[in-house]
Each structure stands twice: as structure tokens, then as C-alpha cells.
Structure 1
Amino acid sequence: MLKLIVSLKLPLIISANLMVLAFFVSHCNNITGSTFDSAYVDYDYQRTGYKFYEPAKQMELHNDLVEISGLGVVDDNTLAAVEDETGHVYLLSTEDGSVLRKIKFGKQGDYEGVELIGDDVYVLKSNGTLYSFKLTRQDEVEAREIETVFSSKNDLEGLGHDGQSLLIACKASGNIDGNKVKGKAVYRYYIPGSKLITKEVVDIEKDQLSAFVNDRSYFNEIRQFDPSAIAKHPISKDIYILSADHILVILSADYQLKEVVKLDKNIYKQPEGISFASDGTMYISNEGKGGKATLVKLLYNNIKK
């Protein structure tokens, strides 16, 4: 009888062990080769359609882009990037991250964001100055300089677009022109009429984010939130706000808090840029931090919500 019991239990034990092994294998990062920290999967995948812990591809970028600070989409095959030292816009291949072209538009400066609307290129400086030029075949252009009421105290890093307007995210103070906010602010700049709306589109407080994740098992605290990039999703119309502190905040189309994700620092060394292709494919750029800058590609699963 004892032998029979042992023989019956043995297959069950082996089966259970195989199930545990399968779980860890399936949760192995193909890029880093390490198992996932539970905090990186502690979000609602159904709300996003992205496996941030399992990107489709990670590409190393040219040495000129070690300080990459902003990312935009030219078309589904080409990205635009800026780095925060020289006045160049780089056109990158979405296939391998290689530099296709390098366009000189200005002097050295702290450039933090780039966005395209049609063939119009917009570049954001950290003090709030915007630069605009047409994307042509020329490798050196004369950009139009657009002054705003922002200043260096706002430390602007995020530039996205929503229709015919630009979305501008403050990394530091969100106070401008008499308008005071408690958290991190996003403002809207209307291209027709060249008008900045001095009332924030949204104001995000760290305590608000902490309350959102408070009941989670593994990722339940926000230590810092300093916006470094912003982009609007082409399909869901959600607003994605990236923080170099390895936090991604997702707002609904009406700017309500929808999801907060902790990013794996082994994949996203210092996330500084975010953009989307028309099919929802996401690209996140990361500064080098002593090594190569990278471009991370994430595929979109268009879940019907």
C-alpha cells in the first residue's frame, strides 16, 4: 500500500514542479535574461495592451545620441530624436535605430522634446522656447524661434501633440503667468494662432499616484514623479506621461488617471522619450547613463475595453 501511495504522489509532485518551472520560464525577460520583479507586472494589462516587462526589441543607438532626450514619429518607419546638447534633429530607422539623417536647426542648447505635425517639426527647449521648421531634404535649416511664458524654473521636458495643438509637460514647477498648481502640470499650445493656454490641461500630484497604487501587492508606492516625455496614443487616445524615475502614467482621453506602471530599470535605463506608430507600436528612448542609449519597441495588443 505504501508503495502504491508513493507511486501515485510522484507524478503529481513532478507535474507541480514542471508547472512552477514553466511559470518562471514564461516570465523570463528575453533581453536581460532575468526573471521579472513582481513590481514590473503589478498593473492591469487589460488597460494598456502592452507588456512593458517584455518588449519586442531593444536597440542600441549611435554615440551621438547618448543624451537622447526626446522622441517623435515621422512615419511608421522613421522616428525623430533630439539630444540635450546640440541643435540637431536625428531621423532614426524603426527597424534597427540607425541614424538615417541628421538635421542642424540651431545652436547648442538644452533641447528636451521633438514632435511632428505633418511635415512641421517642433523642438522644445527646457526653458520653454519652441523651434519650428519644415522637414525637407535639407540637412541644415533655419528654424523659427517661438517664445513662451515658460522659464527655466519649469524645466520643460515633455512635448507631444493632440490634433493641431502641442502638449507641454513640466518636470519642475508648473506655475506660469499667475497660474499656480500643486503637482506636475501639462499645458496646451495651439498652433493655429500661436497661443499658449495658461490654464493647465491636467495637474498630477505624487500623492494622487500613490493613492492609485496603494492597494497593490508589489508596486504600491510612488517615490518620485518627474515628467520627461508625453505622447497621445493614436488608437485609444490615452495620454502617456513618462518619468525618468521609471514610472509611466496613463491618462484617459479626458485626462482621468487610468493606470500607473513601474518600468524595469534593466530595460529602461533612463526613459526620456516616448512615441507611437499608427498601429499603436510604442517606442521609448533611454539615455545611456555611462553606456549606449537605447530604443525600446513594444507591440500593442488592441484589447477591446
Structure 2
Amino acid sequence: MKSLIFTCFAFSLLALTALNCNSITNLVTDSVYMDYDYQKVPYKLYAPDQKYLLHYDLEEISGLSMLGDAHLAVVQDELGYVYVLKAENGELVRKIKFAKSGDYEGIEVVGNSIYVVKSNGDIYSFKVSGSETVAPDEVDTDFSSQNDVEGLSVLEDRLLVACKKKGEINDKKVKGKAVYSYNIKEKKVSAEPLFHFREEEIEDFIKGRKFFNKIHSFDPSAIAVHPLTSDIYWLSADKVLVVLSPAFHLKEVVRLDRGIYKQPEGICFAQDGTMYLSSEGDGARGKIFKISYKSN
């Protein structure tokens, strides 16, 4: 009798476990915001770990980058300042004036230098120091305001520069949204894009999904290279995140929750894979979301 009771109990426990597993599976696939492969994008983007409300100057926060292990360097798209924040809580530490007011969209820290890109493609750079005001090196690139440059990241010894609008420069035809490389040493943009994709290609990738099967539009606002996988995370203000392999092949496409990310404008990673994603305040204070890396 005891053996029979134990067997029944064990069977019930296994059934309950199976039920719970199915419930978990349903939980992570039962929404347009959860309809993606967690092996390819190991982040719960639908449930960020932390949200930082930022200083009032950063309502229009744009790009962000890690500055060392404990700080974030960010820009906003109206003032010529770099803001240094604590990575643990988003608290403003100091700000560095590098230029007059303008439309500054992307930022990247490379070694002990900070690079900032303007929407017309001009690139500013200066050394990290204790000064509150710096005189940057300014490079007038082949981009123009028609490209509406918004993303900046680093890949090995070059910068990645992402165009939100027109994908071509120097009258060379390019189909779709383009990302170029910028040679830091030579201070020169590549003649051809590193990669480019049409919206139709991205939409074809998600065709047939249960929930997220149409993107409507893709207007890149930021780009970042993952420190552990070398995957490229290409963010759109239209609340779409496109992930590419190191060989620039489409790997995954994620719809971001519009209730969380009002206007996603920046993305970067800590060395352990922790993701930081910035969003404009849309009439309120800007925000940064911290999302932990779920390694397999």
C-alpha cells in the first residue's frame, strides 16, 4: 500500500512539474513582445531588471556607452554635452561640454577617447579627462543630414555608423538601411556600407510567426556589438530590435513593448553582457533600462 501511495504521489508530482513547464513555455511565447528565440537573444526585454529615471537634462537622451566598468557616457540630441552617469543607478556624476547645441545622436568610448556623432555625420572626439569643457577634434565625413546618422558603436579597430534615413553616400545607390565603418586612425568613412537591409527583408524573416509577423517600419536609432558573442544589436526607434550575427546575417528580430520603451534611442553592453537601453522621456524624464544577460 505504501508503495502504491508513493507511486501515485510521484506520478502526480511529475504531472504537476510538466504542467508548470508548459505554463512557463506559454508565458514566454504568449505575446507579441515575447515572440522571439531566447537562445538567440538571451534577454527578457519584456521585463527589464531595473529602470533609471534620469536627470531632467536628459529628457531627450539619445546614445549611450560604457565608460569603464562603473559608468555610462550619454548624449542628448539638443545640447553639446556628454553626461557621465553611475551605471548602478543612473545618477548624474558630471557633464562635459564639447560643442555648441546641436543634434547629437550616438556616442562610443574607445580606450580613453570619447566619440560623438551628429545627425549630419560629423564626428567629434576628445580624450577623457577631469575637465568640464573640452576642445574636440571634429571630422566632417561624407555623410549629410539626409542620412540622419543616429547610431555609433565600435567593432575591433573601427566605428560602426548607422544611418536612420538615406543609406547612400557619394551618390552610390544603396537599398535599405545601411551601416558604414569609420576608420579611426585614418578618420575616414568606408566607400561602401558594411551591411544594409531593406525593411522587406526584415519583415520576411518574421513572416509566419504567431504574434510578431509585421514590423511596419525600421528606422535605426542605435547600434551596439555584444562583448561576448560579437552579435550586432541594431535598434530602431519604432520599437524593433534586429540582431545580426558577426557575419552580418539576420539572426533574430524582436518587438519591444511600447508600454515600457516610449522611444528607444540608445543601446550598449557591459563586459558581462548586461544590456543598457535608453528611451526618451516623451514629455517626461528620460529613462535607462538595465537588462541582465541570460547565458545558456
TM over 0.5: yes
Question: Mapping of 1:213-228 within 5 angstroms?
Answer: 213-228=206-221
Moved over 6 A (4+): none
Q: Take 1:40 and 1:86, find their aligned partners in 2: how far apart are those partners?
A: 33
> Following TM superposition, by how much is the alpha carbon of 1:193 offset from its aligned partner in structure 2, in angstroms?
1.6
Identity percentage over the alignment? 49
Q: CA RMSD in A?
A: 1.9
Question: Mapping of 1:181-260 within 5 angstroms?
Answer: 181-260=174-253
Q: Take 1:118 and 1:205, find their aligned partners in 2: how far apart are those partners?
A: 33
Give unpaired runs (5+ residues) of structure 1: 1-11, 29-35
How high is the TM-score relative to the length of structure 1?
0.88
Query: Does 1:270 pair with 2:263?
Result: yes
Query: Does 1:52 pair with 2:45?
Result: yes
For residue 91 of structure 2, what is the amino acid of its counterpart?
S
Q: Take 2:52 and 2:258, find their aligned partners in 1: how far apart are those partners?
A: 15
Q: Take 2:60 and 2:101, find their aligned partners in 1: how far apart are those partners?
A: 13
Query: Does 1:111 pair with 2:104?
Result: yes
> Following TM superposition, by how much is the alpha carbon of 1:134 offset from its aligned partner in structure 2, in angstroms?
0.3
Partner of 2:83: 90
Query: Does 1:279 pair with 2:275?
Result: no
1:288 to 273, 281, 296: 281
2:116 to 113, 116, 123: 123
> Following TM superposition, by how much is the alpha carbon of 1:79 offset from its aligned partner in structure 2, in angstroms?
0.5
Q: Take 1:179 and 1:232, find their aligned partners in 2: how far apart are those partners?
A: 26
For residue 97 of structure 1, what is the amino acid of its counterpart?
G
Task: Provide the aligned length of Structure 1 versus Structure 2.
Answer: 279
1:43 to 30, 36, 48: 36
> Following TM superposition, by how much is the alpha carbon of 1:178 offset from its aligned partner in structure 2, in angstroms?
2.7
For residue 124 of structure 1, what is the amino acid of its counterpart?
V
1:144 to 137, 143, 147: 137
Query: Does 1:134 pair with 2:96?
Result: no
Q: Deviations over 1:257-283 (max 9, x none)?
A: 000000001111110000000000000
Distance 1:216 1:162, change over 3 A: same
Q: Take 2:73 and 2:151, find their aligned partners in 1: how far apart are those partners?
A: 14
Partner of 1:170: 163
Give unpaired runs (5+ residues) of structure 2: 1-11
How high is the TM-score relative to the length of structure 2?
0.90
